[in-house]
Amino acid sequence: MGYVTAGKEYSRDSRYLTTRITADGRDGYRVEPGRYRLVVSRACPWASRAVIVRRLLGLEEALPMAVASPVHDERSWNFGLDPGGRDPVLGIERLQEAYFARDPGYDRGITVPAVVDVRTGRVVTNDFPQITLDLSLQWTAHHRAGAPSLYPWELRPQIDSVNEVVYRDVNNGVYRAGFAGSQEAYAEAYRRLFDRLDWLSERLAASRYLVGECITEADVRLFTTLVRFDAVYHGHFKCNRHKLSEMPVLWAYARDLFQTPGFGDTVDFDHIKRHYHLVHTDINPTGIVPAGPDLSGWLAPHGRGALGGRPFGDGTPPGPVPPGEAVPPAHTPLG
C-alpha cells in the first residue's frame, strides 16, 4: 500500500520474499500441482500480472487462486469475498496470517501476489517480477497444450530491457506521481511517465506487440498499468496530461490486448476503482468512488491486426474462464 509523505518523493519498499518455487526444488520448494495457492487482488496491477500469465499458460488447476477483497486496512488484505470471511483452503481471514506463519516478526509489506504453501500455511514468495517468469519457465510440465512462450530465450535481453524502463517510468511511475509528497517530485514523475508513454507510442505505431511478433511478458506488464489508467491513474494519481483514450496508439494497443482471451476477462474495474479510492484515504479522504469512466470503448474495434503479428505464436488462445473465476458481468464491459 502506498502513502504520501509530505516533502518527499515516493519510494517503493522492494524487500520481497525471494524464495523460489522451481522444477528442481533448489530453494526447498518444488513445483507440485495443488500444493500452492496464489493469493491475488484483481485491484492490484502487480497481482494482475500473475493472474493473466497463469490463465494464458493454463495453470488454473495446477496453481489454484484466492481472490482477496479489494478494500483493506492497515492489517492487510482480507478474504471478505469468501463465505465467513475466510479463504476456504487456507482457513485464514487475512493474508498477514500467512506472512506471520513464515516469520512471526515479519515487518515488510503484506503484498499480493503471494504464493502460499498450503501444507504449512506459510508464504513462500511475494517477489512479483520473478513469480510470472517462474510460471513461464519452471511450471512448464503443467502448462496447457498450446500455451504461448511468454519469455522466449532469444528475446529475453530485449524483454528485460523494455521491462526495466517500463517499470521505472510507467508501472511504478504512476505511483511516484500519485504519492509524491512535493510539487517537484510530482513534476519529475509526471514528466518521466509521459515521456515514456510517448516513446512507447512511437515503438508500437509500427509493431503490434512490444517485443517480437507475439505477446510476451513485456506486454503483460505494460497492460496492467494501461488498463487502470483512465479509471484511476488519470484522476486519482494526477497523471492527467492525456487519458489513455486520448493517446491513439496506446489506446488501440490496450484494446487489442483487452479483447485477447486471458487479458480483459481477468479485469475487474469495480475492484480497481474501489481499492484505489477507498484505501488511499490520504489522497481521497472523502472515500467517494467515481461513477465513470464509460467502459464500452474497450470493446471498440482496434485495427491492430493490420500490423500482423501472431498473438499466441505457435500456440492457441486459452479456453473459457474456469467456473468460479469469472469477473462479475457488472464489473466488466465483457459482461
Report pLDDT digits (tens) over 234-257. 999 999 999 999 999 999 999 999
Report the pLDDT value the prediction gives residue 46, as an integer from 0 to 100. Answer: 98
**Does the structural domain 153-331 have CATH classification 1.20.1050.10?**
yes
Q: pLDDT-based confidence at 10, cuts 50/70/90? A: low
Report the pLDDT value the prediction gives residue 75, as an integer from 0 to 100. Answer: 83
Report pLDDT digits (tens) over 77-110. 999 999 999 999 999 999 999 999 999 999 999 9
Q: How far is CA 251 from the centre of its chain?
A: 18
Do residues 191 and 242 lie in contact, with contact meaning Cβ atoms separated by under 8 Å?
Answer: no
Q: Which residues contact 254 (CB under 8 A, 6 or more apart)?
A: 223, 226, 227, 244
Whether the predicted pLDDT of 64 surpasses 60:
yes
When pLDDT is averaged across residues 182-197 and rounded to a whole number, the result is 98
> What mean pLDDT value characterizes the chain?
96
Residue bearing the bigger pLDDT, 15 or 129: 129
> Residues with catalytic annotation?
44, 175
When pLDDT is averaged across residues 194-203 and rounded to a whole number, the result is 98
The CATH 3.40.30.10 portion of the chain extends over 36-142
Q: pLDDT-based confidence at 316, cuts 50/70/90? A: very high
Report the pLDDT value the prediction gives residue 263, as an integer from 0 to 100. Answer: 98
Report pLDDT digits (tens) over 221-236. 999 999 999 999 999 9
Report the pLDDT value the prediction gives residue 13, as an integer from 0 to 100. Answer: 75
Report pLDDT digits (tens) over 104-117. 999 999 999 999 99
Q: Which residues contact 295 (CB under 8 A, 6 or more apart)?
A: 269, 332, 333
Report the pLDDT value the prediction gives residue 74, as an integer from 0 to 100. Answer: 86
Report pLDDT digits (tens) over 262-287. 999 999 999 999 999 999 999 999 99
Do residues 271 and 42 lie in contact, with contact meaning Cβ atoms separated by under 8 Å?
Answer: yes
Whether the predicted pLDDT of 127 surpasses 70:
yes
- Nearest one of 289, 291, 269, 285 to 277, comparing CA atoms: 289
The whole-angstrom separation of Cα 193 and Cα 206 is 21
The CATH 1.20.1050.10 portion of the chain extends over 153-331
> E strands of the chain, at which residues?
36-40, 65-67, 114-117, 122-125
When pLDDT is averaged across residues 294-305 and rounded to a whole number, the result is 98
Q: How far is CA 334 from the centre of its chain?
A: 19
Do residues 112 and 41 lie in contact, with contact meaning Cβ atoms separated by under 8 Å?
Answer: yes
Whether the predicted pLDDT of 308 surpasses 80:
yes
Q: pLDDT-based confidence at 50, cuts 50/70/90? A: very high
CATH tag, 36-142: 3.40.30.10
Of all residues in the chain, the percent with pLDDT exceeding 70 is 96
The amino acid sitting at 152 is: P
